[in-house]
Amino acid sequence: MKKYFILLFFYFLSSIFYAQHIPFTIQKSEVLKDETVKSSIVITEKYNEKDLLIVRSYNNNGLGLNEGFIIEKYDSNLKRIKEFDFNSKHPTSEKYNIVIGAFTIQNNIVIVETFFDLNRKAYICEANIISNDFKISKKELFSFSKEDIKDFGTFSLQDKFYSKANFIWTNDNSGDIGPELQTGLTDRIDNFTNSDITLVVNKTKSAFAIAVNFKGEKTAAIKLFVFDTKLNKNFETVFSKETKDKKYFFKNIQISDDGKNLFVVAKSYPNELKNKKTGGKYVFELSKINATSQKTKEINPNDHFIGSLKIFLQNDTLICLGFYSDSGDFKYTGIGYFSLNSESLDFNNTKYNPFSKQFLMDKYGDKKPKALNNIAFRNVFVNPNRTLILNAEEAYISISQSAGVNGMSGGGQTYYNFNDIISLELNPEGELIWARNINKDQSTAIDENAFFISYTSTILNDKTYFFINAKDKIKKLKDDRIEFGQTNKNKSNLNLIRLDSNGNFDYQEILDDEENTVPFMVAKGIVIENSLYFLGRKGKDKQLLKITL
């Protein structure tokens, strides 16, 4: 306890030195030895008024040979009081097993897996239910054979299994349909035709949905299952579109707060738009699906280009957000806003907001502005006054080519890049209030190390907070700008950036790497009320960090 107060005093002095006044406190657990070298927090919740539940996924050997979940309970002093290892081993008759979702419901931890059963010759989706005293039960949610789905297309888990085999599962619950890399970077090209399976939980935890996307030649089809808090199936249905004369890609699925309605976004390329002279040669389709009906609304970008749309539910309103351009896909110059009535799917409002002068000055200084590429959505927050805070990041994968013998290419190194942070606020009518760009230039050649760059963000009292790792010296740019630069995983200083209600920002270092036994995975923070929790690890050493704003 004495050490804790000494740390607080040091941080107080540090904040004076940096001439910043961002109030916070820091608390650390003991450093624990952990055989799960690769792990990531996937659930953090209070399971009573004082104590904390943390679930970590791990993968030690790759190819599903030794992966599972560590379930831990900590007291209010971050002392671990209970621990349980749930290993997701399967018999050889159950092939290509993958986890598609993990959440808590009715005081139970639910881990949902899917696999192909050789004995039954069917795909099985199964829930592992772990009680408060760590007793395990299983419940089959649904199954289907290849014969059952022949009218919709084909389905396979093989590609998804091998693509995730050497990664730590992260439980993003985004509802995205299609290929996703462990780093959170998604394939931005609309050529994904493989099958997929996705799970999403609604905000109220009253229901969850599983979407099975089939690979079809003449039909795009998705089978949807909705379950209640007791894991009973509310309904299942199939949503399909003929694709004989067009390309059609399912993009995202969300479930309403009452658990009765599903909302699915798809991108469609009709033949009649092939000769369109301006704007994207596609439309988005927003579909509302429930147990008894299906209806679809077309969202046309007209003269603009929009790479993708994300759905956000706000009371009786559906909000679709997407970065847009006037010159081509994935060369973004602003944010598009579409508001629809969640019952009728009638439009309330549509806005196209170009990035502000302040934003362009942040990013480019006195240089000529360029279009932004590779923007990845991270968070959308709703303020009490109904304004929206949208946070995103320039994130992409690059490959550097190396010279080989006689000038021939010798192959290349893959880099995972996490660059500038984008933050903006929209009023309830979808109009831009402010937009800021925080310059950041960070990359890693080791995919797992992406957890130690990127960022975690939250909002509190009309202020937006970002937690990032950076090196000691913040780079000074022209025109009174700064840039958070490259950092070594094991030499990372934890920084806190704060944006106020007008978009003005300040920052300060809150943890120096010399004070830390382990570096903290700043991209995988979990928010509970006004506190954030980060897992730190280095080899077999593990530590939990709590920062309270």
pLDDT for 419 beyond 60? yes
Q: Model confidence over 295-346: pLDDT tens digits?
A: 999 999 999 999 889 888 888 899 999 999 988 777 889 999 999 999 999 9
pLDDT of 193: 63
Q: What average pLDDT does range 353-364 have in this prediction?
A: 92
pLDDT for 396 beyond 50? yes
Q: How many CB atoms lie within 10 A of CB 331?
A: 16
pLDDT of 232: 96
Q: What average pLDDT does range 421-440 have in this prediction?
A: 94
Whether 312 is covered by a domain: the verdict is yes
pLDDT of 544: 92
Q: How many CB atoms lie within 10 A of CB 76?
A: 12
Containing domain of residue 200, as a range? Answer: 90-354
When pLDDT is cut at 50, 70 and 90, the band that residue 348 belongs to is very high
Whether 350 is covered by a domain: the verdict is yes
Token look-up 């910043």 returns 20
Whether 16 is covered by a domain: the verdict is no
Token look-up 């090196």 returns 471
pLDDT of 448: 76
Total domain count for the chain? 1
Do 423 and 468 touch, CB atoms closer than 8 A? no
Q: What average pLDDT does range 97-106 have in this prediction?
A: 92
- Round to whole Å and give the CA distance between 427 and 424: 10
- Alpha carbon of 320 to those of 189, 254, 272, 378: distances in Å? 19, 11, 24, 14
Q: Model confidence over 506-549: pLDDT tens digits?
A: 888 888 888 888 899 998 898 988 999 998 988 888 999 999 99
Whether 236 is covered by a domain: the verdict is yes
Structural element, H or E, at residue 227: strand 219-227
When pLDDT is cut at 50, 70 and 90, the band that residue 179 belongs to is low
Do 468 and 440 touch, CB atoms closer than 8 A? yes
**Both tokens assigned to 518:** 């382990």
Whether 174 is covered by a domain: the verdict is yes
pLDDT for 405 beyond 90? no
Whole-structure pTM value: 0.88
In the chain, pLDDT over 70 holds for what percent of residues? 89
Q: What average pLDDT does range 96-112 have in this prediction?
A: 92
pLDDT of 18: 37
**Which residues, in sequence order, are CB contacts of 488 under 8 Å at separation 6+?**
471
pLDDT for 183 beyond 50? no
pLDDT of 331: 82
When pLDDT is cut at 50, 70 and 90, the band that residue 471 belongs to is confident
Instruction: Print burial letters for 506-528: b (CB count within 10 Å at least 16), e (below 16).
Output: ebbbbbebeebebbbbbbbbbbe
pLDDT for 181 beyond 60? no
Residue 407 is given by DSSP the state G
In the chain, pLDDT over 90 holds for what percent of residues? 47
Beta-ladder partners of 534: 545
Between 317 and 11, the higher pLDDT residue: 317
- Alpha carbon of 183 to those of 201, 395, 397: distances in Å? 21, 9, 10
Whether 141 is covered by a domain: the verdict is yes
Among the listed residues 317, 349, 353, 334, the one whose alpha carbon sits nearest the alpha carbon of residue 429: 349
Between 468 and 409, the higher pLDDT residue: 468
Q: Which of 83-97, 302-316, 370-384, 468-482 has the weakest average pLDDT?
A: 468-482
Question: Sheet of 80-87: strands edge to edge?
Answer: 39-46, 52-59, 67-74, 80-87
Whether 428 is covered by a domain: the verdict is no
- Round to whole Å and give the CA distance between 113 and 126: 5
Q: Model confidence over 29-55: pLDDT tens digits?
A: 999 888 777 788 889 888 887 889 999
When pLDDT is cut at 50, 70 and 90, the band that residue 416 belongs to is confident
Q: Which of 141-145, 160-164, 254-258, 309-313 has the weakest average pLDDT?
A: 160-164
Whether 411 is covered by a domain: the verdict is no
Q: Give the SS3 label for residue 95.
A: strand
Share the mean pLDDT of the chain: 85
Q: Model confidence over 194-226: pLDDT tens digits?
A: 788 999 999 889 999 999 999 888 888 999 999
DSSP secondary structure of 317-369: EEEEEEEEESSSTT-B-EEEEEEEETTT--EEEEEEEEPPHHHHHHHHTTSPP
Q: How many CB atoms lie within 10 A of CB 474?
A: 16
pLDDT of 13: 36
Residue 9 is given by DSSP the state H
pLDDT for 475 beyond 80? no
pLDDT of 17: 34
pLDDT of 65: 44
Q: Which of 140-144, 467-471, 474-478, 494-498 has the weakest average pLDDT?
A: 474-478
Q: How many CB atoms lie within 10 A of CB 287?
A: 19
pLDDT of 19: 38
